[in-house]
Amino acid sequence: MFQQRTFKFFASLIGLFLLLASPGLIWPGYLDSPLGLALAIPYLSIYLFHQIGIPGLLQNNGACGWGWCAPTGFGWMFLVTFWLLITWLLAWGLSSLSRPAGESDQANCPATQPDDQAH
C-alpha cells in the first residue's frame, strides 16, 4: 500500500487534477464547461456530506438564507482529507493493476523462494 509506485500514481493524479483546473485561473468560462463542472465535484460534495448529517461542515449550520454557506475550517479539513484518501485509494488500485509481470506480492514469502539446500 505504501510503495513507491503508489506515491508516483498519487502525485500524478494530483498533478492531473491541478493541470485540468489551471485553465480556470485565466479563463473563467472554462469552469462552466462540463469538465469544469466535473472538477467542482470535490468542492460541491461538502453539501452532500452536510445533507447526510455530518455536523459542523458549513457556516451557520447551513442556514445562510438564499445563498450557499461556505465551509468552516473543519469542513475544509474534512473535505481535503476525504478527497486525498479517495485519491490515495485510487492510486493504490491503479498501481496494483499496472504491476509489472515479474513483480509479485509474495516475493518475500519463504514458500515461493527456491530452496538452496535441496541440491
Q: What is the DSSP letter of 71?
A: B
Question: What is the structure's pLDDT at 89?
Answer: 95
How confident is the model over 12-66, as pLDDT tens digits?
Answer: 999 999 999 899 889 888 888 998 888 889 989 999 999 999 999 999 888 888 7
Q: Which three cell numbers stand for residue 116?
A: 538452496
Answer whether 6's CB lies under 8 Å from 95's CB. yes
Pick from 23, 3, 16: which is nearest to 87 by CA? 16
- Count the neighbouring beta carbons within 10 Å of the beta carbon of residue 57: 24
